[in-house]
């Protein structure tokens, strides 16, 4: 027969073990909560450089009858307008200088809904799509965003204004609006030293996004 001290010792052990299990479960839950986001952002809420680029590539793909033209539209400003259906911030811009120009551009990202905006001078790689950080532009789901790439004055010749675009293979206008994922592409425009030319192609200017 077990003594009272043995019974007491067993009871204390069970309580102690139960407490440890509860503490371990709580600690594991807290770790999971801290390390995971609840916004379905696979990059764990960092600046996802290829956020808009991926939607551009999918929506304006060769399979959808678009041609990827690395040097097209000899106009100073290449511009597009989108709606982002997610809360967060635009945190980077991606572009590639053409072979005809290795100088600077003015890059503008304008939230025309809230009037929050970014403008800065950038030079990009001529060999690949080059992402660079910008001062964040805050976005609420449904905000309208205008993106502009404007060549700096004093460029050597008109060929320097060329840029990468995605254009319908049959030379028609782009049938905006086009929705892909959380982005709705609304329009495009090319102007400066000519133009404007509306909706003839989609400028290949990527935006990084950090979801809330």
Q: What is the pTM of this model?
A: 0.79
Label residue 45 by pLDDT band (50, 70, 90).
confident
The parent domain of residue 121 ranges over 51-211
Query: Residue 103 belongs to a domain with what CATH number?
Result: 2.60.120
Q: Is the pLDDT of residue 21 over 90?
A: no
Average model confidence (pLDDT) across the chain: 86
* 8 and 57 fall within a common domain: no
Please give the average per-residue pLDDT across 127-155, as a whole number: 97
Q: Is the pLDDT of residue 86 over 60?
A: yes
pLDDT digits (tens, 9 = 90+) for 95-131: 999 999 999 999 999 999 999 999 999 999 999 999 9
- Residue 46 in any domain: the answer is no
* 19 and 67 fall within a common domain: no
- Residue 42 in any domain: the answer is no
**Cα 111 to Cα 2, 50, 108, 114, 178, distances in angstroms:** 76, 19, 10, 6, 19
Label residue 9 by pLDDT band (50, 70, 90).
low
* 10 and 105 fall within a common domain: no
Cα 208 to Cα 193: distance, rounded to the nearest angstrom: 29
* 128 and 206 fall within a common domain: yes
* 5 and 97 fall within a common domain: no
* 31 and 124 fall within a common domain: no
- Residue 63 in any domain: the answer is yes
Cα 212 to Cα 39: distance, rounded to the nearest angstrom: 7
* 196 and 104 fall within a common domain: yes
* 198 and 104 fall within a common domain: yes
* 94 and 28 fall within a common domain: no
Higher-pLDDT residue of 209 and 17 is 209
Domain count, the chain: 2
Which of 7-21, 53-67, 101-115, 168-182 shows the lowest mean pLDDT across its residues?
A: 7-21
Please give the average per-residue pLDDT across 62-66, as a whole number: 97
* 114 and 170 fall within a common domain: yes
* Strands 163-168 and 202-203, sheet pairing: antiparallel
Angle among Cα 30, 34, 39 to the nearest 5 degrees reads 125
Q: Is the pLDDT of residue 40 over 50?
A: no
User: Is there a contact between 183 and 82 (Cβ–Cβ < 8 Å)?
Assistant: yes
């Amino acid at each position: 027969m077990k003594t009272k001290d043995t019974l007491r010792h067993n009871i204390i052990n069970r309580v102690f073990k139960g407490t440890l299990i509860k503490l371990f479960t709580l600690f594991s839950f807290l770790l999971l909560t801290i390390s995971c986001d609840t916004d379905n952002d696979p990059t764990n809420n960092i600046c996802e450089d290829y956020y808009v680029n991926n939607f551009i590539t999918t929506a304006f793909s060769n399979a959808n009858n678009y041609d990827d033209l690395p040097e097209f539209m000899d106009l100073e400003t290449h511009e597009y307008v989108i709606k982002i259906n997610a809360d967060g911030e635009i945190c980077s811009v991606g572009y590639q200088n053409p072979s005809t120009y290795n100088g600077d551009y003015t890059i503008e990202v304008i939230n025309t809904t809230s009037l929050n905006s970014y403008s800065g001078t950038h030079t990009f790689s001529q060999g690949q799509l080059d992402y660079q950080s910008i001062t964040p532009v805050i976005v609420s789901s449904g905000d309208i965003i205008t993106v502009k790439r404007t060549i700096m004055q004093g460029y050597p010749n008109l060929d320097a204004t060329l840029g990468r675009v995605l254009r319908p293979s049959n030379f028609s206008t782009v049938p905006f609006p086009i929705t892909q994922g959380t982005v709705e592409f609304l329009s495009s425009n090319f102007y400066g030293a000519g133009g404007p030319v509306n909706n003839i192609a989609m400028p290949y200017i990527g935006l990084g996004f950090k979801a809330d």
